[in-house]
């Protein structure tokens, strides 16, 4: 007997009537299934949001940018893998020599960390002690992928003389100055030094560890003067003009910096070159462990829900023994009886799955909102959740359905 449209509709109607007659047990089973699907879809949605945030943040740096530093970039999970190797610091002399000698068509920016966890004060307000100060040059905006919301970049005179001028991060400017007051030309203080505001960075968000909104930029020479310390470690950022020039620029930069460092041909590099998109891929790659854990949590919960569903279906078969006998007496075949009980199990699972998908997408996008990412509907996981619920319903409902189909109609009619 083929499962025609009318038979399928009738089976679904019978399933819905049975669900209504055993509402409490059905609700409990639906909740268990929805929790499993919510855990699965919710965590995977959150992971998709985190991946989107990582990709977006590193895309702002440009896929054609890389940095030269004295410490390897190594993303690892737990205790697996080797520790990142740290080389001797990169001096100002080395970074300046590289920038002057690098004649490849690219933008080169030299920067140094001035201080972290500082308080920035204006005449009327002050920030929390969570602001970082960085010294950089005229190419900082290009190499870092930042834009100016107000003001201008450093002038050659300010960079050469090490003048006390500053570019504020978006949130720093918001904290120090009311909306109706322009920060430009205002004076702010960090420690004992006073700086004139010449620019404000465009809002960028601080998700995934990017704190440009809580950062202040001062000229490189100013940072060397005001935050001097032994063995200041400088970073070099290079942004090639086109994506096609990326590999050539990295090769040129590696060879030149080896010369600047005075390395012999047989010696290994004592510095690290890291592409921005490689760092993003390394972070995303390590999210697979979270994905595996989330999948296991969801599947274990669904296994428990499947066992509960099977138990409910077995009880339902026992309670509806006479009904099964009447249906068989009226001509229903074993196959139709089996299909009716399978349809009931699948319907229960789909109700739970639908609720779980809604809660999962909402929970995952709550995480997305917290990290400043965009709203995401993970259609792959949504359709996967629907298919998984069908599978759970078929597996959990098959044995009770087969048992119902095998009942003897005469004995079923006599059942009290």
- DSSP string for 241-279: SSGGGHHHHHHHHHHHHHHHHT--TTSPPSSEEEEHHHH
Identify whether 64 is part of a domain: no
Identify whether 77 is part of a domain: no
Per-residue confidence band for 253, with pLDDT thresholds at 50, 70 and 90:
very high
Of 216, 237, 270, which residue is a domain's last? 270
**Pairing assessment for the beta strands 148-151 and 106-118 based on DSSP bridges:** unpaired
Domain containing residue 222: 88-270
Yes or no: say if 163 and 221 are a contact pair by the CB < 8 Å rule. no
Yes or no: say if 33 and 345 are a contact pair by the CB < 8 Å rule. no
Per the model's pLDDT, the better-predicted residue between 311 and 6 turns out to be: 311
Task: Tell me the per-residue pLDDT of 3-43, one tens digit each, with 9 for 90 and over.
Answer: 556 666 776 777 677 777 777 777 877 887 888 788 778 87
Per the model's pLDDT, the better-predicted residue between 145 and 130 turns out to be: 130
Per-residue confidence band for 133, with pLDDT thresholds at 50, 70 and 90:
very high
Give pLDDT, residue 2: 47
Task: Tell me the per-residue pLDDT of 191-235, one tens digit each, with 9 for 90 and over.
Answer: 999 999 999 999 876 544 446 789 999 999 999 999 988 889 999
Shared domain for 264 and 291, answered yes or no, is: no
Please state, in angstroms and rounded to a whole number, the distance separating the CA atoms of residues 254 and 370: 39
Shared domain for 260 and 299, answered yes or no, is: no
Shared domain for 184 and 309, answered yes or no, is: no
Shared domain for 265 and 300, answered yes or no, is: no
Please state, in angstroms and rounded to a whole number, the distance separating the CA atoms of residues 53 and 60: 11
The average pLDDT across 323-344 equals 78
The CA-to-CA distance between both ends of the chain, in Å, stands at 31
Yes or no: say if 372 and 53 are a contact pair by the CB < 8 Å rule. yes
Give pLDDT, residue 284: 66
Yes or no: say if 32 and 396 are a contact pair by the CB < 8 Å rule. no
Task: Tell me the per-residue pLDDT of 147-203, one tens digit each, with 9 for 90 and over.
Answer: 899 999 999 999 999 999 999 999 999 999 988 889 999 999 999 999 999 999 998
The average pLDDT across 280-289 equals 68
Domain count, the chain: 2
No. of helices (H) and no. of strands (E), the chain: 13, 11
Identify whether 207 is part of a domain: yes
Shared domain for 249 and 398, answered yes or no, is: no
Identify whether 276 is part of a domain: no
Shared domain for 44 and 92, answered yes or no, is: no
Per the structure block, which two tokens stand in for 12? 């679904």
The average pLDDT across 318-343 equals 77
DSSP character at residue 31: H
Give pLDDT, residue 239: 85
Shared domain for 93 and 206, answered yes or no, is: yes
Shared domain for 345 and 263, answered yes or no, is: no
Identify whether 31 is part of a domain: yes
């Amino acid at each position: 007997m083929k499962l025609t449209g009318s038979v399928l509709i009738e089976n679904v109607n019978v399933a819905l009537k049975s669900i209504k007659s055993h509402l409490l047990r059905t609700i409990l089973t639906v909740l268990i299934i929805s929790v499993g699907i919510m855990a699965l879809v919710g965590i995977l949605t959150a992971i998709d949001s985190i991946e989107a945030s990582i990709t977006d943040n590193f895309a702002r740096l440009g896929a054609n940018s890389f940095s030269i530093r004295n410490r390897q970039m190594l993303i690892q999970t737990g205790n697996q893998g080797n520790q990142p190797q740290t080389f001797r610091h990169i001096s100002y002399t080395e970074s300046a020599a590289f920038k002057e000698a690098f004649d490849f068509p690219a933008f080169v920016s030299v920067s140094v960390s001035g201080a972290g966890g500082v308080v920035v004060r204006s005449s009327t307000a002050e920030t929390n002690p969570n602001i970082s100060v960085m010294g950089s040059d005229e190419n900082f905006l290009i190499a870092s992928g930042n834009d100016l919301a107000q003001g201008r970049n450093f002038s050659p005179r300010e960079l050469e003389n090490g003048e006390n001028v500053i570019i504020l991060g978006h949130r720093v400017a918001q904290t120090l100055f009311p909306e109706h007051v322009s920060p430009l030309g205002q004076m702010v203080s960090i420690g004992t030094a006073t700086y004139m505001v010449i620019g404000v960075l465009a809002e960028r968000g601080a998700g995934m560890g990017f704190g440009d909104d809580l950062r202040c930029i001062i000229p490189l020479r100013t940072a060397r003067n005001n935050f001097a310390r032994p063995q200041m470690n400088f970073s070099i950022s290079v942004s090639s003009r086109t994506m096609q020039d990326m590999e050539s620029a990295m090769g040129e930069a590696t060879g030149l910096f080896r010369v600047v460092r005075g390395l012999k041909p047989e010696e290994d590099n004592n510095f690290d070159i890291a592409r921005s998109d490689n760092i993003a891929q390394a972070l995303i790659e390590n999210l697979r462990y979270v994905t595996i854990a989330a999948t296991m949590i969801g599947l274990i919960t669904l296994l428990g829900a499947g066992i509960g569903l099977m138990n409910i279906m077995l009880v339902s078969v026992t309670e509806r023994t006479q009904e099964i006998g009447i249906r068989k007496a009226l001509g229903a075949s074993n196959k139709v009886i089996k299909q009716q009980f399978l349809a009931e199990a699948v319907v229960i699972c789909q109700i739970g799955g639908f609720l779980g998908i809604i809660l999962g997408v909402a929970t995952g996008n709550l995480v997305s909102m917290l990290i400043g990412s965009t709203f995401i509907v993970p259609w792959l996981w949504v359709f996967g959740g629907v298919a998984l619920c069908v599978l759970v319903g078929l597996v959990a409902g098959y044995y009770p359905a087969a048992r119902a189909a095998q009942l003897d109609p005469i004995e079923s009619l006599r059942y009290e």
